[in-house]
């Protein structure tokens, strides 16, 4: 049992652009309110009547990051038909749908739309054979290998229930279909395009990610950190090339790069609180052409992860300092010091859930789904999700992203990882649970009144 749980949690929210979910959750089981049976029945009926076919359509037609035109058009049409005021083309292909329902607070619900350049081999009955030409001009098979098709299907299910249940809540509901999560571009692009200025600014922002490693139909609401930060960093190490037999007349960038790789590990081991999450991985090192030539340069590619803004700064600033000073110590001339470049796009802060709101949502979701379906588990790994941009302190929004299990019964001994051609989730259980949990949470947040 323990073994089984570990396997589930390892793949938890492996989600996304750069992957994972953490934090020990030992929350008190609050007294659950009675489940709304009418909601359960309505969502199940909607799945049979509409959502199943909608998921099938999305699953067969996945689109690459930033190229979700077909998906966005379908989302917009569905939302318009439900009476929402819909704006398309926000931050690229993003869709914003607003439903005003009297006085009260504003709640935003987010779903991401993009698929991945992977050829599906999942064994699903409705595999994608869809292809798209990517932004580099290369034709790619595309697959919903992260489960974003369940997110957008559930958003439509949620939209339908919230519209039908207007008597149960009061306030302003904002639904967004976000592009390009897998490149951690879409959230930032929608915000830059006026998501919080052209549309009602939310007090609360919520969303879920399906998790192929959690039993289908279960939910986990991380009480604090849901995803880590992720930054891609390139280091160009420069030296003075020459003959491999005469190192004294060169400055060897291979040696310098090697020391930099080693010294970077002291960030994790010596500069960050040992109880804090931090990773500096050098995933690529390239330099040189031949045994007996000392090259001019060596290039390193890093991924940097943390669970807090403070640790992120320690790591990123430390990389600059260590690269520069290691090079100086090894006699690299001042005009050839390493060039350290942080990617402006492959960069996201940690997604830190608003704890009070997370606890409240956990209670509301447990009330609807039953306590036994709400998990209290430990995050594994340091995956990233650009939902983090909505949760960034500068916006002052109480943001919570939670996990909905999608592991099909037949795969429980071999949970397929996210971003794998074998990725497959149980759409019915995860979409129904996703809608019920989201509606229960949203109605509870609206009931706060403001
Ligand atoms: Zn994802
Ligand atoms: Zn993903």
In eight-state DSSP terms, residue 419 is T
| In a shared domain, residues 234 and 343 | yes
- Are 67 and 143 in a shared domain? yes
Question: Rounded CA gap, 138 and 387, in Å?
Answer: 28
200 CA to middle of ligand 1, Å?
26
User: What was the pLDDT predicted at 17?
Assistant: 53
Residues 141 and 57 both lie in one domain: yes
Q: What is the DSSP secondary structure assignment for residue 200, as one 8-state letter?
A: P
- What is the CA 227 to chain-centroid distance, rounded? 7
Q: Please give the pLDDT value at position 34.
A: 76
Q: Are residues 219 and 302 in the same domain?
A: no
Render pLDDT for 224-258 as a digit per residue (tens, 0 to 9). Answer: 999 999 999 999 999 999 999 999 999 999 999 99
What confidence score (pLDDT) does residue 16 get? Answer: 55
CB atoms within 5 A of ion ligand 1 belong to: 15-16, 146
Q: When comparing pLDDT for 26 and 71, which is higher?
A: 71
In the chain, the percentage of residues whose pLDDT exceeds 90 is 90
Is the pLDDT score of 11 beyond 80? no
Q: Do residues 219 and 235 both lie within one domain?
A: no
| Average pLDDT of the residues of the chain | 93
How many domains does one find in the chain? 2
Gap from CA of 253 to ligand 1 centroid (Å): 38
Question: How far apart are the CA of 184 and the centre of ligand 1, in A?
Answer: 10
User: Cβ neighbours of residue 419 under 8 Å, at least 6 residues apart?
Assistant: 14, 19, 116, 118, 145, 146
Give the number of the ligand closest to the Cα of residue 351: 1
Q: How far is the CA of 163 from the centre of ligand 1 (A)?
A: 26
Q: Are residues 272 and 152 in the same domain?
A: no
CA 123 to chain centre: 25
pLDDT in tens, 349-370: 999 999 999 999 999 999 999 9
Question: How far apart, in whole angstroms, are the C-alpha atoms of residue 172 and residue 446?
Answer: 9
Domain boundary among 347, 364, 390: 347
Give yes or no: residues 137 and 235 share one domain. no
The pTM score is: 0.90
Catalytic positions: 114, 181
Label residue 257 exposed, middle or buried (CB < 10 Å: 0-12, 13-18, 19+): buried
Distance, CA 182 to ligand 2 centroid (Å)? 5
Write the CATH number for 235.
3.30.70.360
Please check whether residues 341 and 355 belong to one and the same domain: no
Domain boundary among 324, 347, 370: 347
The DSSP code sequence of 127-147 is ----EEE-TTS-EEE-B--S-
Whether residue 241 is found in the same domain as residue 205: no
Question: Is 210 in the same domain as 233?
Answer: no
DSSP 306: E
- Do 404 and 418 belong to one domain? yes
* 248 vs 393: CA distance, rounded Å: 52
**Do 78 and 215 belong together in one domain?**
yes
How confident is the model over 115-133, as a mean pLDDT? 95
Q: Whose structure tokens read 């959750």?
A: 25
Q: Is the pLDDT of residue 139 over 80?
A: yes
Q: Give residue 307's domain range.
A: 229-347
Last residue of a domain, one of 291, 326, 347: 347
Indicate which CATH number applies to the domain containing 145: 3.40.630.10
Ligand with an atom nearest the CA of residue 149: 1
Which ligand is located closest to the Cα atom of residue 387? 1
Q: Which of 107, 37, 95, 34 is nearest to 69 (CA)?
A: 95
pLDDT at 18 over 70: no
């Amino acid at each position: 049992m323990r073994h089984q749980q570990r396997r589930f949690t390892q793949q938890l929210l492996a989600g996304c652009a750069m992957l994972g979910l953490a934090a020990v959750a030992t929350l008190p089981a609050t007294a659950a309110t009675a489940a709304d049976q009418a909601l359960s029945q309505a969502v199940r009926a909607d799945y049979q009547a509409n959502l199943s076919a909608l998921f099938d359509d999305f699953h067969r037609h996945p689109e690459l990051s930033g190229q979700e035109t077909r998906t966005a058009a379908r989302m917009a049409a569905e939302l318009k038909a439900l009476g929402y005021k819909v704006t398309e083309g926000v931050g690229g292909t993003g869709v914003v749908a607003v439903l005003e329902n009297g006085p009260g607070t504003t709640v935003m619900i987010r779903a991401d739309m993009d698929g991945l350049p992977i050829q599906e081999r999942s064994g699903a009955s409705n595999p994608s054979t869809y292809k798209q030409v990517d932004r580099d001009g290369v034709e790619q098979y595309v697959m919903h290998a992260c489960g974003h098709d369940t997110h957008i299907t559930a958003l439509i299910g949620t939209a339908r229930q919230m519209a039908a249940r207007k008597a149960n809540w009061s306030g302003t509901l904002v639904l967004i279909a976000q592009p390009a999560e897998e490149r951690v571009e879409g959230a930032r692009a929608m915000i830059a395009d006026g998501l919080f200025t052209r549309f009602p600014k939310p007090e609360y922002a919520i969303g879920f990610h399906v998790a192929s490693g959690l039993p289908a139909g279960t939910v986990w609401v991380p009480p604090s950190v849901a995803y880590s930060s992720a930054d891609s960093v390139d280091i160009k190490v420069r030296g003075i090339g020459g003959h491999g037999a005469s190192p004294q007349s060169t400055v060897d960038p291979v040696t310098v790069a090697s020391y930099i790789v080693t010294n970077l590990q002291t960030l994790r081991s010596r500069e960050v609180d040992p109880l804090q999450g931090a990773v500096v991985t050098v995933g690529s090192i390239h330099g040189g052409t031949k045994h007996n030539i000392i090259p001019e340069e060596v290039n390193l590619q890093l991924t940097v992860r943390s669970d807090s803004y403070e640790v992120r700064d320690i790591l990123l600033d430390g990389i600059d300092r260590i690269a520069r000073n290691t090079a100086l110590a090894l006699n690299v001339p001042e005009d050839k010091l390493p060039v350290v470049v942080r990617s402006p796009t492959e960069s996201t802060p940690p997604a830190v859930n608003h704890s009070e709101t997370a606890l409240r949502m956990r209670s509301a979701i447990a009330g609807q789904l039953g306590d036994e379906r709400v998990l209290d588990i430990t995050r594994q790994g340091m995956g990233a999700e650009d939902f983090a941009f909505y949760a960034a302190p500068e916006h002052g929004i109480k943001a919570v992203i939670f996990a909905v299990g999608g592991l099909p019964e037949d795969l429980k001994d071999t949970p397929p990882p996210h971003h794998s051609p074998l990725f497959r989730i149980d759409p019915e259980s995860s979409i129904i649970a996703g809608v019920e949990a989201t509606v229960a949470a949203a109605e509870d947040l609206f009931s706060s009144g403001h």
